[in-house]
């Protein structure tokens, strides 16, 4: 199995084979928590304008997302798992847009199959890829605001790669150490309203969910995320 790790939107554009678009803090952790909270559908879109348009088409829907980490004006929720776990999303369509993660999904046009990636379902991602016996895998670490390398996304990519190759050398202690690097923003009191400490812990709960989220391109160019339980 050939596994390649790329970064940012440029990486998603180059991705081939089975592609995992990774956004640990926080897009694809949020998407998993949304399904766990009862959402029947998650639609990923690249623009705020498209999100508002989609909401007009789905009466039982909520808007979830961020720009510059903060909840977008007029949205129901920010891009925060802490907010999502408090919500009852039973039967709800979630319309989701973020600065990094959803941009990666939209731009992975050359991939054969696209999955979302995060720590919370990393094990399920590995099991799924092994089950379909893919020969080529691309792991795209979307990074902070899709412009700066993010240790959490690269670490998640390394975890998935090492697990796919049967390598037991991955050290999970590096995940908890993220609180001192890229995750330290969740512990800044100035950010508590939109990036609370609980977000860090919810996003770093390895293998909490035993399902993958498969991206399916819609006729309107947006992305439906389909939950596949393992």
CA-CA-CA-CA dihedral for 174, 163, 85, 67, to nearest 10: 70
Cis check: omega of the bond before 26, within 30 degrees of 0: yes
Rounded CA-CA distance 64/43 in Å is 10
Q: Average pLDDT in the 175-192 region?
A: 96
The domain limits of the chain are 2-221
The pLDDT mean for the chain works out to 97
53 in Cβ contact with 1 (< 8 Å) = no
Question: Measuring CA to CA, which residue among 85, 86, 91, 99 is closest to residue 62?
Answer: 91
pLDDT above 90 (res 170): no
SS3 186: helix
Q: If pLDDT is split at 50, 70 and 90, which confidence band does 149 have?
A: very high
Q: If pLDDT is split at 50, 70 and 90, which confidence band does 172 have?
A: confident
SS3 27: helix
Question: Measuring CA to CA, which residue among 176, 230, 225, 228 is closest to residue 203?
Answer: 176
Q: If pLDDT is split at 50, 70 and 90, which confidence band does 167 have?
A: confident
Q: Average pLDDT in the 107-129 region?
A: 98
Rounded CA-CA distance 139/128 in Å is 14
Give all strands (DSSP E) within 8-154, no chain letters.
18-22, 41-44, 61-67, 70-71, 93-97, 113-117, 136-141
pLDDT above 90 (res 13): yes
SS3 62: strand
The pLDDT score that the predictor gives to residue 190 is 97
Question: What percent of the chain clears pLDDT 90, i.e. is strictly above it?
Answer: 97
117 in Cβ contact with 84 (< 8 Å) = no
The pLDDT score that the predictor gives to residue 173 is 84
Q: Average pLDDT in the 172-187 region?
A: 94
Q: If pLDDT is split at 50, 70 and 90, which confidence band does 151 have?
A: very high
Q: If pLDDT is split at 50, 70 and 90, which confidence band does 171 have?
A: confident
Q: What pTM, to 2 d.p., does this model score? A: 0.97
Specify the CATH architecture of the domain 2-221.
Alpha-Beta Complex (3.90)
What number of other Cβ atoms are within 10 A of residue 177's Cβ? 13
102 in Cβ contact with 96 (< 8 Å) = yes
pLDDT in tens, 20-68: 999 999 999 999 999 999 999 999 999 999 999 999 999 999 999 999 9
Question: Measuring CA to CA, which residue among 87, 83, 82, 65 is closest to residue 74?
Answer: 65
The pLDDT score that the predictor gives to residue 162 is 94
């Amino acid at each position: 199995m050939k596994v390649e790790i790329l970064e940012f939107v440029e990486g998603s554009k180059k991705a081939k084979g089975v592609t995992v678009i990774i956004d640990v803090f926080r897009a694809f952790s949020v998407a998993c928590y949304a399904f766990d909270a009862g959402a029947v559908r998650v639609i990923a879109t690249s623009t705020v304008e498209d999100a508002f348009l989609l909401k007009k088409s789905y009466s039982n829907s909520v808007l979830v997302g961020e720009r510059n980490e903060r909840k977008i004006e007029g949205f129901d929720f920010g891009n925060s798992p802490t907010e999502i776990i408090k919500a009852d999303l039973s039967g709800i369509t979630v319309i989701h847009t973020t600065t990094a993660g959803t941009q990666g999904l939209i731009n992975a046009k050359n991939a054969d199959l696209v999955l979302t990636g995060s720590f919370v379902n990393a094990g399920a991602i590995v099991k799924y890829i092994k089950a379909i016996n893919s020969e080529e895998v691309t792991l795209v670490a979307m990074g902070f605001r899709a412009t700066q390398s993010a240790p959490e996304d690269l670490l998640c990519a390394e975890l998935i790669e090492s697990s796919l190759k049967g390598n037991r050398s991955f050290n999970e202690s590096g995940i908890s150490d993220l609180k001192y690097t890229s995750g330290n923003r969740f512990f800044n009191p100035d950010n508590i309203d939109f990036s609370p400490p609980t977000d860090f812990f919810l996003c770093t709960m390895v293998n909490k969910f035993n399902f993958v989220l498969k991206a399916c391109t819609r006729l309107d160019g947006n992305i439906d995320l389909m939950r596949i339980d393992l």
